[in-house]
Structure 1
Amino acid sequence: MILAATTRLAETLLRWRTLFGGAGKLRKRMLLDGQPGRADIWVHAASVGELNSAAMLIETLAARHTLLVTTNSETGLERARAAGWNAALAPLDLPDTLARFLNAVSPRVAVTVEAELWPLRAKLLAARRVPHLIVGARMSERSARRWSRLPGLIGPVLRNVTALSAQNGDSETRLLALGLPRSALLPRLDLKLLAPARVTAPPASEMRDRTILAASTHPGEDEPILDAFLALQARRPDLRLILAPRHPDRADQLATAIRARGIAFAQRSGGANDGPLLLADTLGEMPLWYGRAGICLTGGSLVDHGGHTPWEPAAHGCAILHGPHVSNHAEPYAALEQAGGARVTDATSLPAVLSELLAAPDQARRMGQIARGVLDEQAGDPAPLLDLITGLAQKAPDTDI
């Protein structure tokens, strides 16, 4: 009752605000300037990041059903429309606004991406018997503490969830503790990993065995990498290095460092495609370089930049090396290290670690296979979820909306 009274008061005040101009986005989110059309499935994602994570799911569902994608932000709306999806700004969590939205769209199933929990939205979906699924759900420890102080709000939201796939085990545990019925749990699904998990890893080859990729390097990393390559090349003339800086505008600086060491090299921006040392100073071609290398050193980790994602090299079956600075992706690197798909190194130990892997190509190949296996396991299989949503979308609505 408190929720209903509060939201009705808020809606009244916001309506008054729209009368005085300068509230175009607000009017759209209150459906005062038009309404979306009907759709079998309503997918909601907060903004660009969530849309990107769920892109594969949305594309698959859009090919099967009429679909409406909503987002809280204008940039998210632009991203959705640029992808060719039917999209609108999401309705605010207000009673009359939500009623207008649900009357207009008449969804057969609602899908929420990652971490959006709205009490009134959940209540009205349940009242209209619209199945509500949450995919790739995240619940941080901090958010769980906040929600635990509001059991009267979070409890009904979670109890009315038809099905939920958590992003990881910790999120799953916290959601259960907050009131999610265990019967609603689906297998875990990390939406951000679905795209790399769809990559077909190239086959192992002798060329990949002797090719090292230094991916997305930062200042302070290139010199020890070049020194290690120079030392190893003296014993392995067939060794190849692809040096791909994070920012290609550093190409001239890197070319100077390479020439200072007397290393012959080719430059991708000049049209080269191969060479004992290829300076990959272009944008948008990283998948090509991952596919050529059997060993990948992920940049931003030898120096304190927090490290870059290990999942792209894992997708391509690379043996992964990284420095000690991986705070941006600590859990993935820990999982890969524990399984044997990644190894930590630093500027001092790098030549020895590379020498070991180059001398034992079967070991490097095995690391790459393990890394890909960890990726597939953590990504999860979206097929059962897609089939569930499709089945619900094909059912006739339980009630007239």
Structure 2
Amino acid sequence: MSGALPASFAIDAATARVRLDQHDPAFVADPYVAFAATRALGPAFFWEDHRLWCFTEAEAVNALLRDRRLGREILHVATREELGMPEEPAHTRPFYDLDRLTMLSREPPAHTRLRTLVNRAFVSRQIERLRPRIATLCHRLIDGFEAAGSVDLIAAFATPIPVTIIAEMMGVPVDMAPQLLDWSHRMVAMYQFGRSTETELSAVAATEAFVGFLRGYVAERRGAPADDLISVLIAAEADGERLSEDELIASCILLLNAGHEATVHSIGNAVKAILESGLDTAGWFARPGGPEAVAEEALRFDPPLHLFQRYVLEPCEIAGIAFSKGDSLGLLLGAANRDAARFADPDRFDPARPVRPHLAFGAGIHFCIGAPLARLELEVALPILFERLPRLALAGAPRYRDSWHFHGLERLDVAW
């Protein structure tokens, strides 16, 4: 770690309570310093700013991601009245009406049905066959900026790769990418703490526009199926059940939003880590299994998603903390991936470290369905970038986006 503790950070060891402003510039730039400082409190701390118990240790986070006493939804086992949970503001309902239809926001049996249908469609695409297309795209992007000698790598390389690939997979025009990105950014902002009414209204408008756009393509594919994800989802069937049109649209939007946002951050964070570590890229990318080892270490070292929340589905005690039905707790994936109890010298970027499972993609029934594609994009993009630009170096201080609980770069200036 090279950063300093955020100025807003304050800790009460007696009560395991922490104050920390997620917008503190030091935390935005390097949250791992604050995460490390909480480890003396044990497996969890209470984040006062968000009224949330947060777990940081790899063993605990891994176990809780699989714990069926916890879930992504709560209203399937309790009423709002029972929990004292207020109704959603009327102006946010179009967003949540869609969000509730995704497998990410459901628990079994609804989750099982949705994941089975979407997984069959997604896996049946045989992700590995996308390798040549991803490679061609990476080369084309580099061709476009190589002569300049310097570039913001987030805008010129990390962003276009995942949105182009997912647009092509879905069968929507690639020239719609800027609009898809705009809708995605505005919708994903709903998952951040402390959002404003303006952010909520923007997300709802993006949701309605995105849904309207996809309805046209779904109608078109029903009459004329093509070799794309929308057509496969329309045809997907398990035990006689299919996705409803609204579920199909919600699934497409989830795949774009989650896949794009996370993969942009994964590529940017990986390049930054490689450059700052001084890794012998020529050596690593030439050896068998080298690209995979570098990609996995990058995902562990600086993952794109740092928080996954769960509801408590039944009264229980976890790590000596009593939870009531309906309580919410936070699982800090970023902190767990830097836990020295699982990863020796965790703040060092080291692709040679012994292989141990990281938690960048979560675990349990909500393990990221797009993990194979995200891994493939990293394994293809990183070697091509460093082979084409062997003198690649940082040309300015990397700048992280203030969008926690995501952790990714807003700008990465490089030169060669």
| TM-score bin (small chain) | under 0.3
With normalisation by structure 2, the TM-score equals 0.23
The TM-score, its normalising length taken from structure 1, stands at: 0.24
Question: Quick one: higher RCO (CA 8 Å, sep 6+), 1 or 2?
Answer: 2
